[in-house]
Amino acid sequence: MKKIIALALSAVMMLSMFTACSSEPTVDTNSKSADIVVIGAGGAGMSAAIQAVQNGATNVVIVEKTGMAGGNTTRSTGGLNASETTFQERDKIEDSNQLFIDDTMKGGKNINNPELVKYMAENSAEALYWVNDMGADLTVVGLFGGASVKRIHRPSDTSAVGPVLVKTLLSVVEKNNIPVLYNTKAEEIITDANGAVSGVKVTDAEGTYTINCKAVIIATGGFGANSEMVEKLNPNLKGFGTTNVAAATGDGITMGTAIGAATVDMEQIQTHPTVHPETQTMYTEAVRGNGAIIVNKEGARFTNEMGTRDVVSAAILEQTDGQAWLIFDEAVRKSLKAIEGYISAGIVFQSETIEGLAAEIGADPATLSATMAKFADDVKAGNADEFGRAGLELPLTEANFYACMVAPAIHHTMGGLKINTAAEVLNEEGNAIAGLFAAGEVTGGVHGANRLGGNAVTDIVVFGKAAGASACDYVAANGGHTEATIVVEKVEETVKPEVEANFKDGTYTAVGTGIGGDVEVIAEVKDGEIVSITLGQHGETEGIFEGAVDGVIPEIIKGQTTEVDTVSGATITSNAIIEAVEDIMDQAA
């Protein structure tokens, strides 16, 4: 839904509900101590902090190296896998925890840690209800690759799960007054003479200092954006793009191993098969789950689109130029809100006919037409098709018809710190490092050689909760909980130009192209300088666009220039704002 956002940045800027705004929070760090320090404000980190507080922790702080919460969770587009849920029962879907375990082990080539997989599956339904009770509304059940039955739980409006989850978790973090120190990078985990965790060395804009603590939860995500690390572990991935936010560089693994933590499955790096090769936009697996097929550049199918990600990725790489086309019809488009964003971003071809679509993408019209006809016949006959894809529901015969260029890109790093089911980090001897816990993509063992779509969100919530509960228990047994000593206060700040400019006074309007279509930007010029920038009508994703607003707009105003950095995790919205302001500057020149 379009909305009017009035964000007069020339006036008061408050700490955003979804992100840290341009004004740094005032932190009372005279004591610089906490009972539990959570490193990373993504889905796993926030789940851990919330669970710790719900279990009785009173002095928890989150440190986040970027200027916004969410991490890679903001880019999650699918949902949360859970078995034996009331929503599956409502839809008459027969599933079990054991089937969930079997699918996950099979997808991971059976090198997964069976105990971790069992724990995840058996706690998946409770994790789903937990986030739903906080407002996530993951109530629509669908089918994803590698799953034997419909198991992935998605938002009821079919939107991407990541922004919904981040918004939900962050609102609870704020309601519980859990301080989040943004733009604060954890540098080192400190241990005492006995090897137990005793603090975290961090760096912010003011310098480097130590937060003394009893427990640390590492939730820094994987290393999918660290090309050097990826290529060292798997040289075959040299030159691949990535779906990860820029902050996913493996910091937590480095800090953990520095104090003796063991790692597992580090060479297991997953590619996502359906990523736009130029923009690195990831097409959610739900497009295929809702009925889309994949064809090569000649117009022929070549794989079961609902196979595991490694299998589908490998099949695409064997095709001409290592690329393929994701094909769907109007019925699939209507079934999934996320598709509107791809269309608005200009990365989808469309035509009223299959032959016309073939001409648009350079495929052979006869081949593509025959492919589509064969697929429709298989669906209508109710049979598994020639590639073994069963459960077909949509024949892809409803005009219009759509095509998206796809190629594999680095998506998930399955390896990481070795943990047990209590989310305790283990050393090389298999013993828990006292006071050290971890959850999410920074850990290894859950997914084995290949992660199934929907399991990452389950992972971060289930093991985030486990880490929070375990850290809380550890603190209670080692000196007890104390009153909060780090308090983040919301402050007001007026953003003012820091350089002189010579624009014509007035109010100007322009639009840029965002993920949800046109983004209207309104700017006021006074005394020759841009003094305020606000957003008007737009359809950007709630929980993500705020990062662009808080990160890009203040810098434009300060420098009177569009030569500013985009915000990781909100790159497309950032570019939309920059594009519109460039137009405004031309108008006001």
List the catalytic residues: 309
DSSP assignment of 395-462 equals -S-SSSEEEEEEEEEEEEE--EEEB-TT-EEEBTTSPEEEEEEE-STTEESSSTTSPPTTHHHHHHHH
What count of residues does the chain have? 589
Instruction: Work out whether the CA dihedral 556, 559, 565, 567 comes out positive or negative.
Output: negative
Burial class (CB in 10 A: 0-12, 13-18, 19+), 375: buried
Omega into 455 within 30° of 0, i.e. cis? no
Q: What residues are paired with 295 via a beta bridge?
A: 301, 325
Q: Any idea of the CA torsion for 385, 389, 390, 392, to the nearest 10 degrees?
A: -80
Q: Output DSSP code: residue 284.
A: P
Instruction: Give residues with Cβ within 8 angstroms of 370, minimum separation 6.
Output: none
Distance CA 408, CA 321 (A): 12
Distance CA 229, CA 19 (A): 28
Structure tokens at 140: 């629509």
Instruction: Work out whether the CA dihedral 118, 122, 125, 127 comes out positive or negative.
Output: negative
Distance CA 164, CA 167 (A): 5
Tell me how far CA of residue 358 lies from CA of 283, 298, 354, 401, 404, in angstroms.
20, 9, 6, 10, 12
CA atoms within 13 A on the CB side of 15: 18
Distance CA 82, CA 151 (A): 6
* 253 neighbors 40 (Cβ within 8 angstroms): no
Block residue for tokens 């980190």: 45
Q: What residues are paired with 409 via a beta bridge?
A: 272
Distance CA 95, CA 219 (A): 30
CA atoms within 13 A on the CB side of 213: 36
* 151 neighbors 454 (Cβ within 8 angstroms): yes
Distance CA 76, CA 454 (A): 9
* 138 neighbors 153 (Cβ within 8 angstroms): yes
Tell me how far CA of residue 386 lies from CA of 269, 274, 323, 371, 578, in angstroms.
29, 21, 21, 11, 48
Closest CA to 140 of 290, 21, 329: 290
Tell me how far CA of residue 338 lies from CA of 227, 286, 382, 431, 546, in angstroms.
28, 9, 27, 44, 19
Distance CA 93, CA 114 (A): 25
